[in-house]
Amino acid sequence: MTKTKHPKIKTLPLVSFVTPTFNSSRYIGDNLKSILMQDYPKEKIEILWADGGSTDNTAELAKKYKVRFIKNKYILGDPGFAVGGETAKGEFVVFMGHDNQLVQKDWIRRMLKPFMNDPEIAAAYPHLDNKDTDSWMTQYVNRFTDPGNHFVYGYANNPLTFGKVYKTLKKGKGWVVYDFQLKNHPILEFEQGFMLRKSAYKRAKSTYYCGIMAVIDMIRLKKQFAYVPGASNYHETLDGGLKQFISKHRWAIDYQLDRRETFGMYKDKFGLKGRKQYISLARKIRMYFYPFYGVSIVLPVLRALFMYIKDGDKEWMYHPLITFVSAFTIWQEAFRIIILRRSPIMERYA
């Protein structure tokens, strides 16, 4: 790996890493190790875990490594980021899932560069990298997010391809700012290495259950986001395979199909239901067409072949199968809830 030269900063800022935890001991060690290995003064790093009530040894690990350990009364990860962000002491706050790891040892310095060069930058974000040992589903999701989001958002679903759909507002050495619009917003959220200049934005409580809504709110306020191509994270998601994917997918589908204004403990709309007003007509058409597209089999196969030839991403080879599973699950849940009048799944990871 080529060593990057970084501009000298007279006074290094305090950087807080916020991670929501819930029985996270399986993953959190690698997350923690990647932060502690940074070539950045340890006294300038704060590590904070917002815990939703772990019953494993997550709390013991926090005590062992002198991690700030606070209670997340909302339990879930999305509001855990918000609670931790409010409590963090750093001038800059990094939001990382417990299954995330920083790839570069100078990750912090790379991410700070746009902030140091331009006071108008409110946030910065890296992209996700895959390990050779990652499962095929993890590689697909890290590259494209879930197949439904990818079908609706296209190239706007991954920082690696933002340049294909957004104009460049400004560019520095090692970073770029794209011209995001409300109706053409990207899939970007307060997670997976998203770094915030804390003084630039106070998160509204209505966005607590959806990090994408927080980004949309920042776009509405004309805040600027810098993409740092040289910084990346690993994301060990979906190691439970198709069963885990279907479980998460069913919950998300049921939430969208449920007609109630509130959903269990959720008092504010989130997900597609929450951001529907910010979705363009073209994206809405694709959203409603997706369930038919997915079960057609032929269309996903043809699209995967075309896009593989066009872009060369091997993850397209997984597209037909995971898209069919996704769309079939949508139809299954629609039949169960709308036709049979069965209750939706209320627990997120039931």
Q: Average pLDDT, stretch 170-186?
A: 96
DSSP 3-state assignment of 147?
helix
Q: Report how far apart, in Å, the C-alpha atoms of 59 and of each of 24, 45, 78, 87, 140 are.
A: 9, 19, 20, 18, 32
pLDDT band at 141 (very low <50, low <70, confident <90, very high): very high
Residue 333's φ and ψ, nearest 5 degrees, are -70, -35
The β-bridge partners of 233 are 102, 128
pLDDT band at 48 (very low <50, low <70, confident <90, very high): very high
Pairing of strands 194-197, 92-95: antiparallel
Q: Mind listing the pLDDT tens digit for each residue in 282-291? A: 999 999 999 9
Q: How many other C-beta atoms lie within 10 A of the C-beta of residue 51? A: 21
Which of 27-31, 85-89, 227-231, 247-251 has the lowest average pLDDT? 247-251
Q: What is 15-235's CATH number?
A: 3.90.550.10
Give the start-to-end residue ranges of the domains of the chain. 15-235, 241-339
Q: How far apart are CA 300 and CA 324, in angstroms?
A: 8
Q: Are 322 and 135 in contact (CB under 8 A)?
A: no
